[in-house]
Amino acid sequence: MGRKIGLSDLGSVRPIFGMGDERDNPLLEPAPVEPTREQVILRRRLTLAAAAVMILVTGLVVTYATVGFAGDLVGDALYAVLIFLIVSFIFVRMNSWRVAVIAILICTGIELFQLTGLPVEIAAVFPPARFVLGTAFDPVDLVAYIIGVLVAAGVTTWRRLD
């Protein structure tokens, strides 16, 4: 398709409007398309799932590669971040600080459940359960959970500007 060339008012040669050089017309620029609510939720859930997988892998590496107090503290904080991400995935539109409260309550409940001795019995029957339920109560774990969840909530609030 050829272009028609015309003489402008100023005497310069340029294409006549509508004949192939529409980029000069701001009315013909495509309007930005806003994603739908479902697309935003799907994108957020995919991001949360990817982050959860990375935290899970990192937590397993920390658990098996480190020993001592620092390793336990970091591992417990990562466990709490994973719980935070799972709750965020389920309640995708909930405010990050509300998710943080729920995650801290879940982590605290699991830690207090260890006082009953049932997690040890469950882990004896199904060993992977010890990663979810733990085996021994330690009040320092509660501090690590709070730190992990607060850091996760702070990062998600900063990134999403809740």
pLDDT of residue 23: 58
Coil, helix or strand at residue 4: coil
Ranges 9-13, 93-97, 143-147, most confident? 143-147
Domain spans in the chain, listed from the N-terminal domain onward: 1-33, 36-160
Q: For the chain, how big is the Rg over CA atoms in Å?
A: 27
pTM, to two decimals? 0.76
What torsion, rounded to 10 degrees, do the Cα atoms 56, 85, 142, 155 define?
A: 110
CA–CA dist 25, 55 (Å, integer): 49
List of residues 6+ apart from 144 with CB closer than 8 A: 72, 73, 74, 76, 77, 80
Across the range 8-26, mean pLDDT stands at 55
> Among 13-27, 74-88, 108-122, 130-144, where is mean pLDDT lowest?
13-27
